[in-house]
Chains A and B, each alone.
Chain A
Amino acid sequence: MASLLEVHDLSVAYGGVKAVTGASFYVAAGELVCLIGANGAGKSSLLKALTGMVHVSHGTTKFQGKAITHLASHDIVARGIALVPEGRGVFSRMTVEENLAMGAYTRQDQAEIAADLAQIFELFPRLFERRRQAAGTLSGGEQQMLAIGRALMSRPKLLLLDEPSMGLAPLMVQKIFETLRAVSKKGVTIFLVEQNAKLALEISHRGYVMESGKIILTDTSAALAINPEVRRAYLGE
């Protein structure tokens, strides 16, 4: 399998503070890969570096074999990467429909966009009910659905998610994860950053463990789930 995303020795620093140090990993086409780690491990910084939101101080990122390390966000996104950012990042004063339309910003194929929109509404009927409502008035769970729907509207080859379970009730978390599994089954490659290690390892094929800016462990998710170290540190045992 060819790697869709290849990250080599990536570092991110804020001023003098290092957030990510020498991270290397890959995601192959069709995979659902997770990255778990505690607060402040550098997970969000890593995703921001992949999507051009923060400066990469060292290392390289390749997508479909081409370097994207220092491209601007909009150029990276145009190549087929979508990020569901930490805290959802919906456009709160725009309607649900407008948010979804923003997701399709790089696309021109109106008929296909309309078809995708119908699919998103099928996936999240709640969003259809609230399509003319300002996104800021949605509940946290609904906003997360919107953020995911919006990312899917770009028809990404690679979907990145930053803690989609954050702040949601257990039922809603279940719903979101089921959706991710379904999206993955449809062939979208997913790289999922999570603190909810149990669920993340359940739905993913492989996983990486991040600690203090470094990737310290990688294995299949099944193996990680029974790894004593992982169980102690991230599964509360």
Chain B
Amino acid sequence: MDTFLQQLINGLVLGSVYALVALGYTMVYGILELINFAHGEVTMIGAMVALTVIGALVGAHVDLPGIVIVLAGVLAAIPACMLLGFTIERVAYRPLRNAPRLAPLITAIGVSILLQNLAMIIWGRQYISFPPILPRTTYHLGGATISVLQIFILVLSLVIMAALVALVQKTKLGRAMRATAQAPQVAGLMGVNINSIISLTFIIGSALAAVAGVMVSAYYGVAHYYMGFLLGLKAFTAAVLGGIGNLAGAMLGGLLLGVIESMGAGYIGDITGGFMGSNYQDVFAFFVLILVLVLRPSGLLGERVGERA
């Protein structure tokens, strides 16, 4: 029971971060039918930029509470990632808008590798540790514990997701985004500047990625130039699990994947009689990906293929 509750909490926290990243994949896919494999790297850059700022502030011994320093890092990472996402679309994807679908896909992988290497050159190959400046208080909940950081990550993710849903469902801009996703040419006929909407989609997705990047690095206590790869792949899995192109699906898929992974890690030792340990955690994500692709490629909330307008 303790393990169950504990792993559920851990899973939801991790899953809410996956959900934030998955939203970026799914929003871009919804409009361009492109899987932006560079999105994981945007998350990594977010973490790196934030850590650079945080490290500098800590190194300068500024007399500020830890939470404010981290906030400064986040506020630097968000615009940096927005600019990065915007630039990636403009430079790498837009010229290929009418090319066969394989071309932008390969380009996405290329951008991803480019950003990894760029990050390696700038920040080096070593792990960068997240300074221990955040409060370490934990609370007991049933037989499990939850830290302030976990609560913070979970609540902030949910608030951001609610804000995104409100934007997409309730505002004129969101309506234009949905119209563009359904029928771009017709949206143009309504007066929607499709290129602006596409840019905006990348910008919003990248802002979410920036926040997620800081969360992951704070949670695990480290950042690394290669961290975007696995995180991106898992978030992509979450998006596919929920039904790629579907916002609610990305959120559900993210949370679900986090819980599956965490439960798997918690119980794998028992199941295999100690043969495999929680270090096999990452296997579950890809097991889920394969299962979904085989059994229900449209995902949990996705519509059947061919139903798109």
| Interface positions of A (Cβ within 8 A of B) | 51-53, 72-74, 77-78, 82-83, 85, 89, 91-94, 98, 101-103, 105-106, 136, 150, 154
Taking the nearest CB of chain B, how far is it from the CB of A156, in angstroms?
11
* Most chain B Cβ neighbours within 10 Å, of A74, A83, A101: A74
A52 in complex: contacting residue of B172, B176, B178, B188, CB < 8 Å: B188
- Determine the main DSSP class of B at the interface with A: helix
Determine if A94 and B182 form an interchain contact, defined as CB atoms under 8 angstroms apart. yes
User: Does residue B70 face the partner (Cβ distance < 8 Å to A)?
Assistant: no
Q: Are the C-beta atoms of A85 and B309 separated by less than 8 Å?
A: no
CB-nearest residue of chain B to A83: B189
Residues of chain A lying within 8 A (CB to CB) of residue B142: none
Asked, given contacts A91-B183, A136-B309, whether A103 binds B188 with beta carbons under 8 Å apart, the answer is: no
A53 and B188 contacting across the interface, CB-CB below 8 Å = yes
**Interface pair B176/A105, CB less than 8 Å apart:** yes
The answer to whether A93 touches B191 (Cβ under 8 A) is no
Closest to B309 in A: A92
A94 touches B179 (CB 8 A): yes
Interface residues in B154-182 by Cβ distance below 8 A to A read: 172, 175-176, 178-179, 182
Interface size on B, residues (CB 8 A): 18
CB neighbours (8 Å) of B309 from chain A are 91-93, 136
Whether B185 is near chain A, meaning CB under 8 Å from some CB there, is yes
CB distance from B169 to the nearest CB of A (A): 10
**Chain A residues with CB below 8 A from B191, complex form:** 74, 77-78, 105-106, 154
Residue of A nearest to B196 (CB): A74
Kindly state the separation between the CA atoms of A163 and B297 in the bound complex, as whole angstroms: 37
Residue B190 CB within 8 A of the other chain = yes
B172 to chain A, nearest CB (A): 7
A74–B194 contact, CB under 8 A? yes
B192 A105 Cβ-Cβ under 8 A: yes
Min CB distance A157 to B, Å, is 14
Q: Give every chain B residue within 8 A of A83 (Cβ-Cβ).
A: 189
Interface residues of B (CB under 8 A from A): 172, 175-176, 178-179, 182-183, 185-194, 309
Sort A-B residue pairs by CB-CB distance and give the 7 closest, nearest first: A73-B188, A106-B191, A89-B186, A77-B191, A105-B191, A105-B190, A102-B190
Set A52, A85, A98, A106: member contacting B186, Cβ < 8 A: A85
Given contacts A102-B175, A136-B309, contact A77 B182 (CB under 8 A): no
Q: Taking the nearest CB of chain A, how far is it from the CB of B167, in angstroms?
A: 15
Q: How far apart are the CA atoms of A45 and B172 in the complex, in Å?
A: 30
What are the residues of chain A within 8 A of B189 when measuring CB–CB? 51, 53, 73, 77, 82-83, 85, 89
Which residues of chain B come closer than 8 Å to A106, judged between CB atoms? 190-191
Known A101-B175, A136-B309; judge A92-B190 contact (CB<8 A): no
Chain A residues in 8 Å Cβ range of B190: 74, 77, 102-103, 105-106, 150, 154
Q: A105-B172, A105-B176, A136-B309 are in contact. Are A89 and B183 (CB under 8 A)?
A: yes
List 7 other contacts, CB 8 Å, given A51-B189, A74-B192, A105-B176: A53-B189, A72-B193, A73-B189, A82-B189, A92-B309, A93-B178, A102-B187
Of B178, B183, B190, B194, the most chain A CB neighbours within 10 A belong to: B190
**Cα distance A190–B153 when bound, in Å?**
56
Across the interface, which residues of B come within 8 angstroms of A72, CB to CB?
188, 193
Residue among B179, B185, B193, B194 making CB contact with A102, cutoff 8 Å: B179
CB-CB < 8 A to A53: which residues of B?
Answer: 185, 188-189
* Residues of chain B contacted by A52 (CB below 8 angstroms): 188
- When distances are taken between beta carbons in the complex, the residues of chain B under 8 Å from A51 are 189
